[in-house]
Amino acid sequence: MEQAAADLAAASRDSHLALRRVERQQALMERLHAARGARLRLAALAHELRVSARTLTRDVERLRISGVPIRTHRGRGGGVSIPAGGALAPIAFDLPEAAALMSSLAVLGPSVSDSATSAMHKLAAAVPSR
């Protein structure tokens, strides 16, 4: 799994394209989360995100390789979903880990989405000011 992630990362070094992909994947995750476990059709999501179904399939695969629990459903009524409900388990980051996430959000633009803004606020509040 680590090798597959490394291969995908190596294949996507263009920073502008990578930024667009991260924004699109964020939008995909927000859309899946809003659906509360319902199966969403890949073609409809691709249209909504203004990309091809193939591009969205690659995005789904990248997220799955990264550990995001996206389920794929084959067949005529197929699509993608994420498990419904439940909050995440508490996560403890050390300062360098929190800073890495904050710098990644800063590159993306901490106000690109509601969840990015919320994540940045939570990380900033958790980091000691002195």
Do 106 and 52 share a structural domain? no
Counted domains in the chain: 2
pLDDT tens, 8-29?
Answer: 555 555 677 778 888 899 999 9
- Residue 128's nearest CA partner among 93, 78, 79 is 93
Do 48 and 73 share a structural domain? yes
Do 103 and 65 share a structural domain? no
pLDDT tens, 30-57?
Answer: 999 999 889 999 999 999 999 999 999 9
Q: Is 27 exposed, middle or buried (0-12, 13-18, 19+ CB in 10 A)?
A: middle
Place of tokens 């409809």: 44
In three-state secondary structure terms, 45 is helix
Whether residue 130 has pLDDT greater than 80 = no
Cβ pair 48, 31 in contact under 8 A: yes
Q: The domain spanning residue 8 has which CATH number? A: 1.10.10
Do 99 and 74 share a structural domain? no
Do 66 and 10 share a structural domain? yes
pLDDT of residue 8: 52
pLDDT of residue 6: 54
Do 65 and 103 share a structural domain? no
- What's the pLDDT band for 102 if we cut at 50, 70, 90? very high
Range of the domain at 12: 2-81
Whether 108 maps to a domain, the answer reads yes
Whether 36 maps to a domain, the answer reads yes
Do 107 and 73 share a structural domain? no
